[in-house]
Every structure is written in structure tokens, then in C-alpha cells.
């Protein structure tokens, strides 16, 4: 029979084991909660201390709500001491680019913002870049393409060939104009051109204001051409050549931040395009498989409505 001393020792040993497993259980529970929160974007330890936020703007710019919400969150985040925009985009809709521009300028009221151009930052991508207060690009980055385009497919001859005739009843001459089902009238051309020129004047005025350039100089630069990073520096469309390190150094200097401050990625939640997006991907893939990559790119652009500020060499 065990002595009283042995029983006491056993109880203490059991108590220590129980305490150990309680601690382990609590730590595992806390770890699980943190993992779940991180998985759903609700908690990120790297964002709970002072840092420079990095947001990537890539592909076609549409001013989607998830990106706008992300920029709004950054504007309100006390631990964000600066923002880097990593831009790799040929542009997108003019209105979408305008929305991103306004959201970035809201951030810039309280935090330094720098843009880093990667392979392409043209048209709407350039609108996004000039929202920043400092722009960095590689020497061979493609930028510029300052302009607005309004385009549509006109298929009236094709319909006539296959024996299809479109009928319409409309309230006014310019309702649903321009139309893909008939040649463009002079009146429709005139009002469409007025709309494009109005948006173009807004774009060039923005460039003149943000880059501190005379409007006459901007008009010369805004014939739709693209520039390399080296050419853009010479024309004062950007500030310097280099990579993200130059942008980080500029933000640190502006905000007097410590040299070891971290740069942390902020990402918008992924957005599922649903059946419409799947259909466009299938169409694009089929056109590429048939050796028609230009039409594949055009298929992607058909998802964008309205005025476009977008650059692609095969579509110009």
C-alpha cells in the first residue's frame, strides 16, 4: 500500500500534468481563433504595429467596390504610416480610374503615398499613379497613353449578310447611339466625340495639376503615345527611376519613419465573377486557341462599359 508521502507526490505530479495540458489547450484554442480570423481577413498581427501598406493595382481597372473598401480601410488605419501603390495595369474604365484616384487622394491627406510602376502603368494606370505624391518607374516601364477612347463593334454588314434585320422603336434620335447594328450617323458621332473630349479635358487637367506642368505642354504629351520610364522622367511625368526601395526611402523621409519599419501587403478580398466571368474566360481561351489573341483581348474589354482609359498595342 502506497504511503501518504507517495500519494502526495502522485497528486502533485498529476496536478502538474493537468496544468500543462490546460495551458496547451488554451494556447491551441487561441491559435485556432487567430488562424480563423486571419483566414477571413479579420485579424493580422503584421497590421497591428506601425507599417507602410502596399496595395497592388493590376489588370483592368474598374473601380470595383472591394478595392475602394480596402483603400478606405487604409485611410482609417492608425498603424498605416504610408502607402505604396504597385501598379501593373494598362488602364480600364475612365470612371473606375477616377474612383481609385479619389480614394488614393483621400489617403494622401494624412499619409505619404508613393506609386511604383512595374511593367505597364498606362492610361487609367497612369491616372492611378498621379494620385500619389511621388512616382517611381523602371527605365523600361511603359507609361503615358494619356487619353480616352469610346469604342464598339459595328456589325450591320455581317447581319445583312446572314439575313438579320434589327428593328427598333425609340424615344429620340440619339437613344442607344452609337449602335452596333447600323452605321454611325454624323449626329451620333458629334455627341460621342463631345463626351470623349470632355473626359479628355478632365484627364489632361489632372495631369497638369498633379505634375505641375503647363497645360499646353500636357496637350503635346497627350496625343495617346506611350513612354518608357526614362522618357517619362525627362518629360516630368514621373519623379525618378528605380524600384520599390526608392519609394520606401521617400516615404520614410517624408514621415520621418525608422529605417526598420516593415512594408505589409494589404489585399482586397477576391471577387468571383460568377457565370459571366466564366463565360468570358471560356470565350477568351477559345479565341486564343484559334490563333486570335487580339480578339481574345477584345473579348475581355467587352466586359467594360462606358469610356475607357486603356492601352494595349494590339488594340490601338
Residues taking part in catalysis: 123, 175
Q: Exposure string (b/e) for 116-129, b if CB count within 10 Å is 16 or more?
A: bbbebbbbbbbbbb
Instruction: Tell me if 50 sits within 8 A of 81, measured CB to CB.
Output: yes
Which one, of 44, 102, 67, lies nearest residue 262 by Cα?
Answer: 44
Residue 22: CB partners within 8 Å, gap ≥ 6? none
CB 110: neighbour CB atoms within 10 A?
12
Strand partners, 55: 85
Q: Is the Cβ–Cβ distance between 61 and 100 less than 8 Å?
A: yes
Q: C-alpha distances in angstroms, 15 versus 12, 26, 186, 297?
A: 5, 16, 91, 69
Cα distance between residue 74 and residue 298, in whole Å: 34
Residue 114 CA to residue 130 CA, distance in Å, equals 9
Amino acid at each position: 500500500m502506497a504511503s501518504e508521502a507517495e500519494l502526495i507526490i502522485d497528486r502533485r505530479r498529476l496536478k502538474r500534468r493537468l496544468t500543462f495540458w490546460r495551458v496547451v489547450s488554451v494556447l491551441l484554442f487561441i491559435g485556432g481563433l487567430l488562424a480563423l480570423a486571419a483566414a477571413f481577413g479579420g485579424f493580422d498581427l503584421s497590421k497591428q504595429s506601425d507599417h507602410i501598406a502596399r496595395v497592388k493595382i493590376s489588370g483592368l481597372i474598374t473601380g470595383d467596390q472591394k478595392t475602394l473598401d480596402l483603400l478606405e480601410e487604409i485611410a482609417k488605419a492608425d498603424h498605416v504610416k504610408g502607402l505604396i501603390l504597385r501598379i501593373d495595369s494598362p488602364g480600364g474604365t475612365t470612371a473606375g480610374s477616377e474612383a481609385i484616384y479619389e480614394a488614393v487622394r483621400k489617403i494622401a491627406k494624412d499619409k505619404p503615398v508613393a506609386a511604383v510602376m512595374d511593367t505597364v502603368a498606362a492610361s487609367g494606370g497612369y491616372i492611378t499613379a498621379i494620385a500619389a505624391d511621388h512616382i517611381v518607374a523602371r527605365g523600361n516601364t511603359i507609361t503615358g497613353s494619356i487619353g480616352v477612347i469610346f469604342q464598339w463593334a459595328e456589325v450591320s454588314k455581317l447581319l445583312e449578310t446572314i439575313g438579320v434585320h434589327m428593328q427598333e422603336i425609340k424615344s429620340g434620335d440619339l437613344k442607344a447611339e452609337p449602335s452596333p447594328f447600323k452605321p454611325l450617323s454624323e449626329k451620333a458621332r458629334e455627341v460621342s466625340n463631345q463626351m470623349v473630349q470632355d473626359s479628355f479635358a478632365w484627364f489632361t487637367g489632372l495631369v497638369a495639376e498633379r505634375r505641375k506642368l503647363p497645360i499646353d505642354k500636357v496637350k503635346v504629351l497627350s496625343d495617346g503615345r506611350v513612354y518608357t520610364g526614362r522618357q517619362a522622367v525627362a518629360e516630368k511625368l514621373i519623379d525618378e527611376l528605380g524600384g520599390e526601395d526608392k519609394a520606401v526611402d521617400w516615404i520614410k523621409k517624408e514621415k520621418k519613419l525608422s529605417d526598420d519599419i516593415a512594408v505589409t501587403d494589404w489585399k482586397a478580398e477576391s471577387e468571383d465573377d460568377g457565370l459571366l466571368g466564366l463565360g468570358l474566360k471560356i470565350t477568351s481561351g477559345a479565341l486564343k486557341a484559334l490563333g486570335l489573341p487580339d480578339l481574345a483581348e477584345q473579348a475581355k474589354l467587352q466586359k467594360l462599359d462606358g469610356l475607357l482609359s486603356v492601352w494595349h498595342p494590339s488594340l490601338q
